[in-house]
Every structure is written in C-alpha cells, then in structure tokens.
Amino acid sequence: ERAALKVSMLQRSRQENLGKLCFWGKIMGETNDYLVAYALVPAFGFPQKKYFYCTTADFTLCQMPALTSEWESMAAAISMPFRGEPSLPLTPTGEPGEEEPAAEEGEEAPKETFREMHRLAQVVKQIDHDVAVLPRGAFVVDASHAVVKNKSFEGLSYEAAGSMANFYHFREPESARCKACFEKPGIVRPSDFLDPIAEDSPAGVWSLVYDPSNTMSTLRSFYWPGYFFYSMVDSPEYGGVYFGNGLPNLDLPFML
C-alpha cells in the first residue's frame, strides 16, 4: 500500500509539475479506505493546498472535486461512515442514492449528482482547517507579503516544544488580531499572523506530551480523533497526519 501510493504520488507530481507531494492521511471506509495527498501551491498572500485522493482498491490519484456551497452543507450534515466508493451517489442523509438517467438527444443535461467523493473533499477540507498545525517560526511572511517556508527554521527548544503557545493553525488567519497583523505593511513576526491553537474552543481540545525519549513533542486532537502532529526538539523536522473515519467527536464538550 505504501509503495503503491509513493509511486502514484511521484507520477502525479511529475504530470502536474507540482514539486513535492505530501501524504495527508487515511480515511477508513466500509468497503475501501481513502488515501489523501496534497501539494502546497504558492499563491499571493497565503499558499493553497491542492488535494488528491485514491482508494486502497485503485492507487491512481485523482484531484479532489470542486464543491458548491450546497454540497458543502450536505456533506457537513452527514454523520454516517464512509463506504470507500468515490462515485457512489449519496442522498442528503448519506444513504446510497440513484444515478440520474442520461439525457436524451435534445434534452437538457441532468444536474450533476452529489457523490461520496464530494463528501470526502468537504471532510478533508474541514479536518485540515481545524487541525493542520505549524510550530512557531516554520513559516514567515516575506518582503512581498507572501507566506513562505522559513529555510532558516531550526526547530523548537525543549521548553518551547512543550508549550501549546508555540503551535499555530496552518491556515489563513481568522481572528481579528491576526488578520490585522497579516495585512499591515512592514515586518510581520511569525507569532503574529497565525491563529494559535491554545485559543481553540473548548479548552482541552488538544493534548501535548513529550515522547519517552524527550526528543519529540506530540499533539493530538480530541475533536478529530486520529490526528497527530509531531515536532522534533532542536530540529526543523515536524509533520502531521490523520488516520480516522472522517467523523468528529461531537461529544467532546461533555467529556472535558
């Protein structure tokens, strides 16, 4: 599985000239599992992520489909497990639906069907929005006011790696304070333009611990069980991955 995905990622990267394609995670399904990868695409302001997926039955990577606001709402309302069949039509409740009959000559083409791949795109986007994390200083705002990887990043110290205040959401800033810092002219400090995970609600949604060797700190999300992020102490190495069923823990507020 790992070898087949690696070959597929390399092929897709070369076909689209994307540079490095990174593994995002795995969403378990009843019939097959989904494997998700992404490429970080430079853009004005904040870099964008381009997502690709395949199943464990076919390792050919396909780009995630575009979503309408209606489909995003439909996907967010579904709480059933994934089936692992990208082309499966879905009803608003998540049950398997029926294919629209093909239009006959002269008739208007039927409306595009909402499928499991559309739900997958929404879930991946939502998980990444909520839990994609960076250590302090890993990305910076350059002179052209674009967010870029910090080539001088040397990692967090032992003390810093054990503090939640040194980890931030890897997404466009949403809080008023961070937005203002990001949009202001001049130098922007690394800790000013990203939303800190320490301010996430409810309090206690994250767990931060050192590994037994004290050479790495690990973050876990309790809202999206299966997401893990690590940061090596005094090293630029860090990363995150998701292995789960694509369903949030809606009972979290009652568990804390």
Encoded tokens for 80: 């059933």
CB proximity list for 111: less than 8 A, separation 6 or greater: 100
Q: How far is CA 186 from the centre of its chain?
A: 30
Structure confidence at residue 255 (pLDDT): 79
Q: How many residues does the chain have?
A: 256
* Predicted local confidence at residue 179, as pLDDT: 87
How far is the first Cα of the chain from the last one, in angstroms, to the nearest whole number? 37
Q: List, run by run, the mean pLDDT of 10-residue segments along the chain (256 residues).
A: 90 87 95 96 87 94 92 93 94 82 60 91 97 94 87 94 95 89 81 90 92 95 96 96 95 81
- Look up residue 81 and give its DSSP letter: P
Residue range 9-45, pLDDT digits in tens: 999 989 888 888 999 999 999 999 999 999 998 888 8
